[in-house]
Amino acid sequence: MKRFLACCILLLMINDPVLSKRSIRKFPKGFKFGASTAAYQIEGGWNEDGKGISIWDVATHMETTPIRDGSNGNIAADSYHLYKKDVEILKELGVDFYRFSVSWTRILPQGFSNYINQAGINYYNNLINELIQNNIVPFLTIYHWDLPQELQKLGGWTNPYIIDVFADYAKILFDHFGDRVKFWITINEPKQICYEGYGSDLKAPLVNMTGIAEYMCAKNVLLAHAKVYRIYDEEYRKKQNGKIGISISCTWYEPASDTIDDHQAALDARQFDWGQYAHPIFSKEGDFPHELKHNVAAKSAEQGYSYSRLPELSASEVAFIRGTSDFFGMNTYTTKMAYRDASVDGMFPVPSYRDDMGSVLVKDPTWPQAQSSWLQEVPWGFHKLLKEVNKLYDNPPVYITENGWSSSGGLLDEDRIQFLRNYLNALLDALDEGCNIKAYTVWSLIDNFEWLNGYTEKFGLYEVEFSSPDRTRTPRKSAFIYKEIIRSRILDPNFEPEKYVEERKDSQEKEKFDSDLY
């Protein structure tokens, strides 16, 4: 503990939490702003109009629920019926684009392409058309965690058969929506799919077989993504003229000290966390990163396995995956410190992803804390992450496809505003230093079902009244701040929305009146 506290003090001395002290900053011409959501988290309509059952429908309806508040996504924000309201508030914000996902089982109820549900096609056609009519670019995510349960019965993402099934699903979306959708994400956050869904019980399907299942999943996710990219590139790009990529969750891991061991611990953490998925796609050499292959092979040998628990990518598979993204889709929220400590042997199960990584990951208690236990505000970590991606992958076009802050609720969300401004400030610093960042997407447009945490964490710029049958959407103060950033293309830390300036004047006048009375 003494060492941990000393590391915190050292980091505070090294890293100023706000990188730039300039008061007003401009975004470059052509920089785009958006907002994002995901189908299961907002749509509801879980069994309407022919929709099939997903792994999240199964998880949320278990007799002993894994959901913190016992809730589910049966109705959520009811965007299946209120999509026009969502587009209305997107227009109100003035966003350039809206990143949303398609529910696989709303299109293919059993997961397979033999039967297409026309009601699902109609819903997304209506949403896409409504966006375009309001000058909002649709940015479509093909898969955001809601795997058809029928496919999970076959092993889901641990079964190589999923590669062809996913490709069939993607082609249906290209065929029906590609004439209007010009920005695509194949898969959202492979680590959360593989480690949290198959290597642990943090996400559906709650397989919880760490050290084996997440690595099987990782190979298949990469190959499925690559196959869909190749299909789009070879069969659709010329006639549809779009861009396609992947969104990878990226946490910055900072060495807790200047020791070689702690620097290696931070490097290993980064390569296990996001290098596992970014390196095969974006690096010149391709394949899984050296640190991942070395650690898993060494641990596997120690544990008596005759081969590495990390499946090998053949030379042809390495070539097939390498280069399969038109941009680096980055979902990023926070930072952790990493260190090596021999005294923590036995902390993690054997075998396991965390034991293979071998890094102890902690937060600095001085960092601002969100409602989500895993989320702290560390803008300098965001800046370092952007610089590292620039260095490692030859400065690819970067789209920030998720970044946001959770609260417990309420409309006066000063903590979210501080997070938003400080992270955009760090982004501008990275832009000034040559990083090729094209767009920023806030998570999320509206409050939603936050997976195992249900409705206990609020990420929305707009509050959703879940107790109301109308699911009323009300702008938080952060919505007014984001709207002004988009309108002006300026980051002004002193800007106060007129609504709140007037309220403050009224409050001050009332205080003066009360004091005069007494």
pLDDT (tens digit per residue) in 325-338: 999 999 999 999 99
Mean residue pLDDT of the chain comes to 94
Cβ-contact 53, 147 below 8 angstroms:
no
CATH number of 25-516, picked from 3.20.20.80, 3.40.50.300, 3.30.70.2740, 3.40.190.80: 3.20.20.80
List 43, 130, 189, 457, catalytic entry: 189
pLDDT (tens digit per residue) in 385-412: 999 999 999 999 999 999 999 999 999 9
What secondary structure letter does DSSP report for 194? I
402 is catalytic: yes
63 is catalytic: no
Domain ranges for the chain, please list them: 25-516
Q: Which two tokens stand for residue 423?
A: 């992270």
Tell me what pLDDT residue 1 has. Answer: 43
Tell me what pLDDT residue 347 has. Answer: 87
pLDDT (tens digit per residue) in 193-233: 999 999 999 999 999 999 999 999 999 999 999 999 999 99
CA angle 484, 479, 434 (to 5 degrees): 55
Q: Which amino acid is at 107?
A: I
By the 10 Å C-beta count (0-12 exposed, 13-18 middle, 19+ buried), 3 is classed as exposed
Q: Among 9-18, 52-61, 102-111, 267-276, whose mean pLDDT is lowest?
A: 9-18
Q: For residues 352-374, give the mean pLDDT.
A: 98
Q: Where do we find the tokens 């640190």?
A: 291
Name the band, by pLDDT with cuts 50, 70 and 90, for residue 250: very high
Q: Which two tokens stand for residue 204?
A: 């559906």
pLDDT (tens digit per residue) in 502-518: 666 665 555 554 565 55
- 89 pLDDT more than 90: yes
Name the band, by pLDDT with cuts 50, 70 and 90, for residue 20: very low
Q: For residues 133-158, give the mean pLDDT.
A: 98
Tell me what pLDDT residue 501 has. Answer: 75
- 9 pLDDT more than 70: no
- Quote the CA–CA distance of 334 and 405 in Å, as a whole number: 10
pLDDT (tens digit per residue) in 419-451: 999 999 999 999 999 999 999 999 999 999 999
Chain-centroid distance, C-alpha 410 = 23
Instruction: Tell me how crowded residue 315 is: count the other CB atoms within 10 A of its CB.
Output: 10
- 13 pLDDT more than 70: no
Side-chain half-sphere exposure of 390, counting CA atoms within 13 A: 16
Tell me what pLDDT residue 508 has. Answer: 58
**Structure pTM?**
0.94
Tell me what pLDDT residue 505 has. Answer: 60
Tell me what pLDDT residue 345 has. Answer: 72
- What are phi and psi for residue 340, nearest 5 degrees? -105, 135
pLDDT (tens digit per residue) in 304-320: 999 999 999 999 999 99
Name the band, by pLDDT with cuts 50, 70 and 90, for residue 2: very low
Name the band, by pLDDT with cuts 50, 70 and 90, for residue 17: very low
Tell me what pLDDT residue 110 has. Answer: 98
pLDDT (tens digit per residue) in 161-197: 999 999 999 999 999 999 999 999 999 999 999 999 9
Helices (H), 271-413: 276-282, 290-302, 315-321, 353-357, 379-392
Closest CA to 328 of 397, 391, 381, 388: 397
pLDDT (tens digit per residue) in 471-495: 999 999 999 999 999 999 999 999 9
Tell me what pLDDT residue 512 has. Answer: 58
Closest CA to 141 of 234, 40, 222: 40
Helices (H), 212-321: 213-231, 237-240, 260-270, 276-282, 290-302, 315-321
DSSP SS3 for 462: strand
More confident position, 129 or 516: 129
In angstroms, what is the C-alpha Rg of the chain?
23
Q: Which two tokens stand for residue 83?
A: 């999509």
Q: For residues 27-56, give the mean pLDDT.
A: 98
Return all residues near 320 (Cβ < 8 A) that are at least 6 apart. Answer: 223, 226, 227, 230
List 150, 291, 402, 457, catalytic entry: 402
